[in-house]
Amino acid sequence: MADLLLGADLGTSGLKLAALDTAGAVVAEAEVGYAVDSPQPGWAQTEVARWRAAFDEALAAVVPALAGHRVQGLGFSGQMHGAVLVDGAGTALAPALLWPDQRAAGQLDRWADLPAVDRAALANPLVAGMTGPLLAWLAEHEPALLARSAAVLLPKDALRATLLPGPAVTDRSDASATLLWDLPGERWSPAAVAAAGVGLDLCPRVSPSDAVVGTVELAGLGEVPVVVGGADTPLALLGTGGTAATQVDLGSGAQVLRPVSTPWPVERPVVHTYADTCDGWYAMAALQNAGLAWDWVRGVLGMDWASLLGTLEASPAGAGGVRFAPFLTGERGGVAGPADRGGWSGLHPGTTRADLGRAALEGVVTAVGAAAELLPGPDDGGPVLLTGGGARHPGVQLLLADALGRPVQHVQVRSASAVGAALLAARGVGLDVVPQRSAGPVVEPADD
């Protein structure tokens, strides 16, 4: 009987479940989608029961492939930020509020008005969809609900609690992304928690990401140890092996990540600093508009993906002088601000559809390059690792190498965040597992 580890990645619109063997190969996986509810403009929420149903469906899909194997552990990865109010057993009392939710924009002034030393210790830009501002909105608009709550959980913790009820617990990778966490002090910030209008008793216990918090009976698999888990971005880093290198994840949005030795107080930061799922830290410059902008461009120009990518051959470098700003929904700051918007400029009578398409590809990649320049400190000096579907095409890889001024290499791990969660489970039960990764060629920047 071979040993297997399970990792579940709770995304915004779908859950992935992966089974990893001790040789690091994914032997089974499943994905189940679900809707995000928006009962009012700018709101984004999901019932925790919907997440649990997706987990059960994904588990049922992989169980037949796991027959005859021992499942040694289960780990959880989850979308970052958000807020789930739960009772003493960990049962959700209301829908989970998610990271895209904008209802708490009016509460951000509470964080901007914190004393400078307390604001700097949070070391992150102010974002309405983070846990702290969402709690502040709940304290103002749902005081009776808050009074019934024993704790606030992050999404992956709320899902885990449906399997393993008990005291509220999270890990440092999720805690550091709440705007409630003193990063240099590695503790909940009393000042930030007070700004949210709640007490420290509402904050969950923070445990190591690979700590075993109990065992659960999984249908068809028996008793399985469960670890705390971690946030999806650092677990994708773990899964792809990018814990020592600069990494660009290019999907609907884009994240440029770089390990840093230690967090430092920053009163008005333009990049995020978060804990990873080990004992380290990473800086992140995030763009909301990457593949999202390319999808919009495809729709406007009537192009499929192959046609859009084909503009790299049909239009010269520089797109005939046309430029594209991809900021359709605005940005968090740094590269662009919340009020910035997208569009083409430099149009002339000779502009072609191919120029418009190529300009869109170049515009997103240029924004990624600008985001990378915001990151502090050096990395290991190797190629920049590329992940995500948007970076698979060789032409996009060359654009990225030029924009970053560095060699790049696309690395693919199936269900990277779910694999990272399975690796946490392996660590928690004392197994040393290295995931199998598929690495493409190293692409050098073009000569000037």
For the chain, the average pLDDT equals 93
What average pLDDT does this structure show over 129-154? 97
Position 411 confidence tier, pLDDT thresholds 50, 70, 90: confident
pTM of the model: 0.89
3-class DSSP assignment, residue 447? coil
Fold of 247-405: Nucleotidyltransferase; domain 5 (3.30.420)
Per cent of the chain over pLDDT 70 is 98
Q: Is the dihedral of CA 45, 48, 50, 56 positive or negative?
A: positive
343-345 and 323-325 strand pairing = antiparallel
User: CA nearest 240: which of 384, 106, 376?
Assistant: 384
Q: Do the domains 3-231 and 247-405 sit in the same CATH topology, yes or no?
A: yes
What are 156-210's pLDDT values in tens digits?
A: 999 999 999 988 999 999 999 999 999 999 999 999 999 999 999 999 999 999 9
Q: Please give the Cα distance from 358 to 59 (Å, whole number).
A: 42
What are 2-30's pLDDT values in tens digits?
A: 899 999 999 988 999 999 999 999 999 99
Position 220 confidence tier, pLDDT thresholds 50, 70, 90: confident
* Confidence check: pLDDT of 244 > 80: no
* Residue entry with tokens 């649990």: 52
Q: Please give the Cα distance from 376 to 188 (Å, whole number).
A: 25
What are 41-69's pLDDT values in tens digits?
A: 889 999 999 999 999 999 999 999 998 89
For the domain 3-231, what is the CATH superfamily, name and number?
Answer: ATPase, nucleotide binding domain (3.30.420.40)
| AA identity, residue 259 | P
Q: What's the full length of the chain, in residues? A: 448
395 burial type by CB count under 10 A (0-12 exposed, 13-18 middle, 19+ buried): middle
Position 414 confidence tier, pLDDT thresholds 50, 70, 90: confident
Between residues 427 and 292, the one the model is more confident about = 427
401 burial type by CB count under 10 A (0-12 exposed, 13-18 middle, 19+ buried): buried
Domain locations in the chain?
A: 3-231, 247-405
3-class DSSP assignment, residue 37? strand
Q: Please give the Cα distance from 147 to 199 (Å, whole number).
A: 11
Helix (H) or strand (E) run with residue 193 in it: helix 190-195
* Confidence check: pLDDT of 150 > 70: yes
* Confidence check: pLDDT of 413 > 80: no
C-alpha neighbours within 13 Å on the C-beta side of residue 121: 18
* Confidence check: pLDDT of 333 > 80: no
The pLDDT of residue 265 is 86
User: CA nearest 254: which of 420, 126, 368?
Assistant: 368
14-21 and 26-33 strand pairing = antiparallel
Strand intervals (E) in 329-372 = 343-345
What average pLDDT does this structure show over 348-377? 95
Position 447 confidence tier, pLDDT thresholds 50, 70, 90: low
User: CA nearest 170: which of 186, 184, 153?
Assistant: 153
What are 317-330's pLDDT values in tens digits?
A: 999 999 999 999 88
Question: Taking the CB of residue 280, how many other CB atoms lie within 10 A of it?
Answer: 15
* Confidence check: pLDDT of 273 > 90: yes
Contact 235, 277 (CB under 8 A): yes
* Confidence check: pLDDT of 448 > 60: no
